[in-house]
Amino acid sequence: MIGKIVDKKIVVQSTLRVTFQLDQPVSFKPGQYCFVTLKGIKKQFSINNPPSQNDIITITTRLSDSVFKKTLHALPVGEEVELGPIAGVFTLPENAFKPLVLIAGGIGITPFMSMLSYIQEEKLNYKITLIYSNRNQTSTAYLHQLQELAKQLPNFKLVLTMTEDTGWSGEKRKVDENFIKAYFPDVNDYLYMVVGPPAMVEAVENSLFKAGIEKDNIKTENFTGY
């Protein structure tokens, strides 16, 4: 399918959001990703918008010096880009039997934005705690949107941790086994979904194991850089 760029914006430090208008409606599940092809190179990005917005795809990515990211950043509004296919299994469980603990590092927040918007729109009965770890507030994508969601969604709790922000008065710890046990004493009463850079995901997953969480209660997704 073809997507025409209709909006581009730097949302926080070195983080670009791009919205594509599609030439045909698409179906996807919250948490899935879409491939973007530039100069013959195909890369995947989590879809930020909810499935109800089936005529657009919005992605958000950290900028870098890679050829792909430089090309994406330079594309003007109105440019048409090859998109698809849509794929991925990092999606919401079909039922809300167990409360969810969503753990995001940095730009790993993007699939959770689609999930949370979907839950809000459909008025679904998921009970969710989102742990969102960043170095500082200035690099935290969708910070204000999440703070607003925390006010609007009755079963949604937002836990922010800023590990290198001297001006932040809230949580500053890295997400390790002690962090998890402090917030979730009965650790296996929850399903954990972890997404972010590979090193972060590996570290958090190991911490979950150390906290005594069973492997069946953990789902992960890596965001590689390019």
Judge whether residue 199 has pLDDT over 90: yes
Mean pLDDT, to the nearest integer, of 91-118? Answer: 94
State residue 71 phi and psi, 5-degree precision. Answer: -65, -45
Q: How far is CA 38 from the centre of its chain?
A: 22
* pLDDT of res. 225: 59
Q: Domains in the chain, ordered, with CATH?
A: 2-87 (2.40.30.10), 100-222 (3.40.50.80)
Using CA atoms, how far residue 114 sits from 35, 49, 118, 148, in Å, is: 16, 5, 6, 15
Q: What is the pLDDT of residues 134-178, one digit of tens each?
A: 999 999 999 999 999 999 998 999 999 999 999 999 999 999 999
DSSP-derived letter for residue 191 is E
Q: Which DSSP helix (H) or strand (E) runs through 202? A: helix 198-210
- Backbone phi, then psi, for 170, in 5-degree steps? -90, -155
Tell me the pLDDT tens digit for each residue of 20-74: 999 999 999 999 999 999 989 999 999 999 999 999 999 999 999 999 999 999 9
Q: If we measure between CA atoms, which residue out of 124, 109, 96, 100 comes closest to residue 219?
A: 100
Reduced to 3 states, what is the DSSP secondary structure of residue 194?
A: strand
User: pLDDT by residue (tens digit) across 109-141?
Assistant: 999 999 999 999 999 999 999 999 999 999 999
Element (H, E) at 134: strand 128-134
